[in-house]
């Protein structure tokens, strides 16, 4: 499902050619899309009434109605966010003595590991996946940093927001218009970011040596001259088993 912002955050959505004829909300629309359709209908009726009656009161009523819709939208956002906070719950990882169970880790050491051992993500490639251009331009590309790390997770979100501004230069300050509050960022996590991820291999060349080591590194072989090898030679050979 494509994320559609509320017109108060992006007024150009009211005149988008893909939604221009949506004047009535339907069941298959998300909440923002329904509010945009109602607002579009109010604007149309206000302009039509002002053209027919020539009364300024029609314009005032239309503006007040839109203001009420914006207020309802913000109240619903606050309600949804408060329910999410109550539902998810936030608690510190403390034991009965009040001491934290987490060991302290030097932040500078972690930062050095991420900077030196992993590829740097940017707005053109927030998840650090292998691009077709990397095959020739970056044949020794490092792996993408682990997205489960909170610092990396934050960097990915920042890169995605910068990418939004890069892809939609006509929208001024997308951080404020599209990701301006907690509810917008929640929708970004639940409706946008869940579709994208780092692939299992984020390097140009597969690490076949490490994969083989993981498969067979500690496995005893029947070719070994030690006791483990002797056991492997007869473990599954039924001709050596006396019944």
- Domain-by-domain residue ranges, the chain? 1-89, 113-206
pLDDT value of position 99: 47
How high is the pLDDT of residue 95?
45
Q: What is the pLDDT of residues 198-243, one digit of tens each?
A: 888 888 887 778 778 877 777 766 666 777 667 666 666 554 454 4
Residue 161 above 70 pLDDT? yes
Burial of 106 (0-12, 13-18, 19+ CB in 10 A): exposed
| Arithmetic mean of pLDDT, 179-206 | 82
């Amino acid at each position: 499902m494509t994320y559609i912002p509320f017109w108060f955050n992006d007024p150009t959505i009211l005149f988008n050619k893909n939604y221009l004829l949506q004047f009535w909300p339907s069941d298959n629309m998300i909440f923002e899309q329904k509010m945009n359709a109602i607002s579009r209908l109010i604007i149309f009726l206000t302009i039509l009434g002002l053209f027919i009656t020539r009364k300024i009161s029609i314009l005032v009523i239309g503006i007040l109605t839109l203001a009420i819709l914006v207020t309802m939208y913000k109240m619903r956002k606050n309600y949804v966010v408060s329910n999410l906070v109550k539902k998810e719950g936030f608690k510190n990882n403390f034991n009965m003595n009040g001491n934290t169970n987490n060991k302290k880790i030097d932040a500078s050491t972690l930062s050095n590991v991420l900077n030196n051992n992993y590829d740097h993500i940017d707005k053109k490639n927030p998840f650090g996946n292998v691009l077709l251009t990397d095959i020739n331009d970056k044949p020794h590309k490092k792996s993408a940093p682990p997205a489960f790390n909170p610092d990396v997770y934050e960097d990915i979100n920042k890169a995605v927001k910068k990418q939004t501004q890069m892809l939609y230069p006509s929208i001024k300050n997308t951080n404020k218009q599209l990701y301006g509050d907690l509810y917008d960022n929640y929708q970004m996590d639940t409706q946008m970011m869940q579709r994208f991820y780092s692939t299992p291999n984020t390097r140009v060349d597969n690490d076949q040596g490490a994969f083989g080591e993981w498969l067979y590194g500690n496995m005893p072989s029947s070719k070994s001259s030690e006791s483990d090898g002797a056991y492997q030679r007869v473990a599954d050979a039924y001709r050596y088993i006396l019944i």
